[in-house]
């Protein structure tokens, strides 16, 4: 079913868009390595303006994200060209998510160990290699490998952008700059399906990668010319047992959850339990390593109340958001009969609204703090999902467009402040670990949310069909129930919104010092 490919790709993108990670700040007891690149810079000279380094990283991130959603419309072409089933084609999205879930926990350690320029070269290098390989991929297996290589680059690129931002932008300007980041990151996924629909009119699915490659190469070249280092790399040991546990635990959990969609429920549940067991061992291992100062993921970040609240809020918001991201394309294509391109065009205004509002939300955050934005934003998300519970065979398209736009605006008002408050609540030497935990949990929340809405929808539709209800009516009723689940989840976002402080420096963690 095409909606799963569409939903999974959208999720992989959405989660990727918000993976906020990792600094280059030395921790106590570590030894700075000699810089081979240009001299390191610490917090820079910016007042009210987005620093050039951030603009450059945003541009690179935009291309990475665009490339992720650009695949959505290509699934039918791929099925014909490579002679594969829809379930097989879906692996191009699932593998992306799995790679992100397995690689992100390691990026905290990696980003502290290398310079900014090295991290950028690694991220874009992997992305370029993956894209080039995808253009010439003779078989599905090679194309899948290419997507995994791309995902590895994305897992480094996203954190690099967010960590550099936290280091170079003064606290009073972070909201505005984060808003500009939101603009690029939100517009890319909105544009992806529409752009791919146009490109596919001129050639095969290979052309999608062919268009991206020269643009990405140009951005990489420009970045290597302009990018300066931020912070100092540090030498630290890596616990390979923790790496294995993280990859198996988080990767297994995401894979197990994705298997609930049409796979064997018993097998899926078994994989999920095995993943959770590995994560439990991983947590105990990190708590023991914290005493020696070299954990792969430092769980002391969770002692900062504002960060922990932001973490819970982000995870639940992600799950609720999937109601729209998976069910809406399914409804528009399978129930209303729209093409993938028409679906992309219908949801584009919401994505554009979210992106264009980013800078305004950022400025308001800098001026008034987070709560004045997050609480109305969370309420807007719930109201939009409540509207979607009323979908029918004849609901006007303008109404769907308005509900989707309302949801995206609500998310814009929520995400920028929550990211800024959450990461701002931890001391700089924990940025990398705080963002690593945030990024990993987003992957898990995305997979959990997908499994939840698809399982609820399918179970309800199947039971109605068994009672003799027409297939389309049964599917529609299943969707309504799944939207209700999303709406219930979003109420938890409203509750946590009231627990957030207005500003990061009012958090109990460390008094806002050390930013």
Hey, which of 22-26, 61-65, 109-113, 258-262 has the most confident mean pLDDT?
Answer: 61-65
Kindly report the CATH number assigned to the domain that includes residue 163.
1.20.1250.20
Q: How far apart are CA 23 and CA 93, in angstroms?
A: 28
208-218 residue pLDDT tens: 899 999 999 99
In a domain, 149, yes or no: yes
Which residue range is the domain that position 181 belongs to?
Answer: 2-26+47-226+238-503
Higher pLDDT, 379 or 157: 379
Beta bridge partners of 71: none
- Per-residue model confidence (pLDDT) at position 79: 82
Beta bridge partners of 31: 235
Query: Poorest-confidence range of 35-39, 94-98, 112-116, 489-493?
Result: 35-39
The owner of tokens 């089933």 is 85
Dihedral angle, C-alpha 462, 464, 398, 407, nearest 10 °: -60
0.85 exceeded by the pTM? no
- Per-residue model confidence (pLDDT) at position 281: 94
pLDDT at 234 over 80: no
Return all residues near 402 (Cβ < 8 A) that are at least 6 apart. none
Angle between helices 86-113 and 431-466 (to 10 degrees): 160
- Per-residue model confidence (pLDDT) at position 337: 86
pLDDT at 43 over 60: no
Angle between helices 340-368 and 397-424 (to 10 degrees): 40
pLDDT at 32 over 50: no
In a domain, 412, yes or no: yes
Hey, which of 86-90, 152-156, 233-237, 434-438 has the most confident mean pLDDT?
Answer: 152-156
141-160 residue pLDDT tens: 999 999 999 989 988 887 78
* Percent of the residues in the chain that have a pLDDT greater than 90, as a whole number: 19
Give phi and psi for 235, each to the nearest 5. Answer: -90, 125
Q: Considering its fold, how many domains does the chain have in total?
A: 1
In a domain, 308, yes or no: yes
Q: Are 268 and 450 in contact (CB under 8 A)?
A: no
Q: How far apart are CA 434 and CA 449, in angstroms?
A: 22
pLDDT at 232 over 80: no
- Per-residue model confidence (pLDDT) at position 110: 82
- Per-residue model confidence (pLDDT) at position 31: 37
- Per-residue model confidence (pLDDT) at position 40: 39
Three-state DSSP class for 32?
A: strand
> How far, CA to CA in Å, does 224 sit from each of 53, 131, 392, 478?
11, 19, 52, 50
In a domain, 69, yes or no: yes
Helix (H) or strand (E) holding 234: strand 234-235
In a domain, 510, yes or no: no
- Per-residue model confidence (pLDDT) at position 185: 67
Q: Are 148 and 103 in contact (CB under 8 A)?
A: no
At residue 506 the predicted structure's pLDDT band, cuts being 50, 70 and 90, is: very low
Q: How far apart are CA 56 and CA 168, in angstroms?
A: 13
In a domain, 35, yes or no: no
In a domain, 330, yes or no: yes
Q: Give the mean pLDDT of 166-171.
A: 80
């Amino acid at each position: 079913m095409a909606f799963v490919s569409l939903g999974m790709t959208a999720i992989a993108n959405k989660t990727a868009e918000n993976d906020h990670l990792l600094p280059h700040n030395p921790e106590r007891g570590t030894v700075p390595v000699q810089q081979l690149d240009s001299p390191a810079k610490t917090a820079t000279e910016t007042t009210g303006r987005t620093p050039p380094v951030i603009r450059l990283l945003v541009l690179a991130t935009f291309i990475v994200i665009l490339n992720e959603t650009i695949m959505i419309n290509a699934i039918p072409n791929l099925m014909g060209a490579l002679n594969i089933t829809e379930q097989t084609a879906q692996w191009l999205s699932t593998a992306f998510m799995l790679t992100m879930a397995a690689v992100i926990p390691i990026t905290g350690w990696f980003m502290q160990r290398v310079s900014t320029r090295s991290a950028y070269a690694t991220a874009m290098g992997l992305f370029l290699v993956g894209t080039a390989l995808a253009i010439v991929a003779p078989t599905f297996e090679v194309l899948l490998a290419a997507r995994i290589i791309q995902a590895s680059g994305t897992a480094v690129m996203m954190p690099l952008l967010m960590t550099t931002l936290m280091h170079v932008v003064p606290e009073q300007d972070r909201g505005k700059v984060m808003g500009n980041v939101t603009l690029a990151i939100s517009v890319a996924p909105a544009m992806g399906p529409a752009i791919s629909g146009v490109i596919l009119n001129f050639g095969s699915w290979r052309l999608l990668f062919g268009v991206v490659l020269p643009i990405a190469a140009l951005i990489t070249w420009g970045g290597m010319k302009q990018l300066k280092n931020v912070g100092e790399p540090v030498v630290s040991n890596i616990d390979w047992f923790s790496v294995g546990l993280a990859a198996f635990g988080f990767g297994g959990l995401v894979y197990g959850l994705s298997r609930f969609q049409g796979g064997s429920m018993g097998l899926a549940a078994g994989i999920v339990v095995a993943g959770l067991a590995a994560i439990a061992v991983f947590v105990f291992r990190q708590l023991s390593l914290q005493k020696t100062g070299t954990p792969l993921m430092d769980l002391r970040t969770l002692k900062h109340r504002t960060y922990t609240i932001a973490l819970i809020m982000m995870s639940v918001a992600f799950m609720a958001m999937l109601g729209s991201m998976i069910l809406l394309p399914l409804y528009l294509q399978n129930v209303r009969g729209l093409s993938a391109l028409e679906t992309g065009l219908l949801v584009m205004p919401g994505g554009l609204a979210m992106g264009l509002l980013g800078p305004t939300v950022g400025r308001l955050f800098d001026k008034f703090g987070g709560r004045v934005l997050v609480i109305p934003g969370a309420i807007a998300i719930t109201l939009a999902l409540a509207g979607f519970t009323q979908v029918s065979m004849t609901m006007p398209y303008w109404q769907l467009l308005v509900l989707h736009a309302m949801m995206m605006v609500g998310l814009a008002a929520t995400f920028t402040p929550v990211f800024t408050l959450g990461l701002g609540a931890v001391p700089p030497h924990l940025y990398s670990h705080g963002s690593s935990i945030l990024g990993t949990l987003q992957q898990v929340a995305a997979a959990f949310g997908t499994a939840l809405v698809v399982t609820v929808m399918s179970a309800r539709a199947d039971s109605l069909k068994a009672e003799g209800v027409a297939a389309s009516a049964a599917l529609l009723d299943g969707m309504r129930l799944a939207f209700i689940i999303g709406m219930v989840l979003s109420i938890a976002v409203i509750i946590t919104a009231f627990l957030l402080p207005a500003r990061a420096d009012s958090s109990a963690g460390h008094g806002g010092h050390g930013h």
